Each structure stands twice: as structure tokens, then as C-alpha cells.
Amino acid sequence: MISEFNYNSMTQKQRILAVDDNRVNLILLKEMLSEHYEVVSFSDPVKALQHFFPETFDLVISDFMMPEMHGIELLEKIRQIDSNVPFIISSANNDEENIRAAYQAGVDKYLLKPLNIATLNNTVKRFIKIKKNCI
């Protein structure tokens, strides 16, 4: 017999923190992912960081260039709170130096915009599975 606690934890959607200063991009991310995941979105990375803890997230997707704080800065601050949370940067900027800097800072994946729905879904699914196996 499955207890109510176990049943709820098995059916609860994994939580994704989406951060992008462009509200249209946030709406698109929510549309692409909300069928399988709970997507919490912020257009302000500072507010997103304030909500990262005490809340818990299974994955973070962040824009690279934002006015208040760029994606690498957000990555570094989030990793101080949770060193294992998968972090994906999405950007229209395909400059090799930016991509290299993101990977050197510890980003798990750098996706170019416009985001391909299948690539995004496969990437998110893979990193969520990896995180679940590490717990």
C-alpha cells in the first residue's frame, strides 16, 4: 500500500526556475515546459535569487544577458546555495567567448535562442533525471 506522502511525492511535478528579462521568452518557456513541470518565472534575476532559497528547484534556466545581473552571476550565486542544481543558460548570443565563459563558470548547458522545443525538452528531462538520481 502506498502512503499518501509517498504518492504525493511521486506525482509532484519537478520545479523549474526560469529567469529572463524578456517577458515573451518567459511566457514561451512556461508554454513549452508547464505540461510536465512546474515553472516559476521571474523577469528580474535579483528577485529570482531571493526566491531560490527557501524554495527548492530542480533546475534553473536563465538568460545570459540581463540588465540587473547576467546569467553567469546568477549561476555563481545560486551555486553558493545549491551546488548541485542543474543550470541552463539560453542566449541569442553565440559568441564563443561567452559560451566558453559560461561553461568555465559551471553552466551545465548553453542553449541558443530561438529555443528548439524538442532540444529544450530533452535537455531539461536529462538534467532533471540526473539530479533525481543524485539525491
pLDDT per residue as tens digits for the range 46-102: 999 999 988 889 999 999 999 989 999 999 999 999 999 999 999 999 999 999 999
| Element spanning 110, H or E | strand 109-112
pTM: 0.89
pLDDT per residue as tens digits for the range 1-57: 343 443 334 558 999 999 999 999 999 999 999 999 999 999 999 999 999 988 889
Q: Measured between alpha carbons, how far is 28 from 50 in angstroms, rounded to an integer?
A: 23
Task: Tell me the β-bridge partners of 112.
Answer: 91
Q: Measured between alpha carbons, how far is 124 from 119 in angstroms, rounded to an integer?
A: 8
| Long-range contacts (CB closer than 8 Å, 24 or more residues apart) made by 7-15 | 13/37, 13/38, 14/38, 14/58, 14/59, 14/128, 14/132, 15/39, 15/40, 15/55, 15/56, 15/57, 15/58, 15/59
Domains of the chain with bracketed CATH: 13-134 (3.40.50.2300)
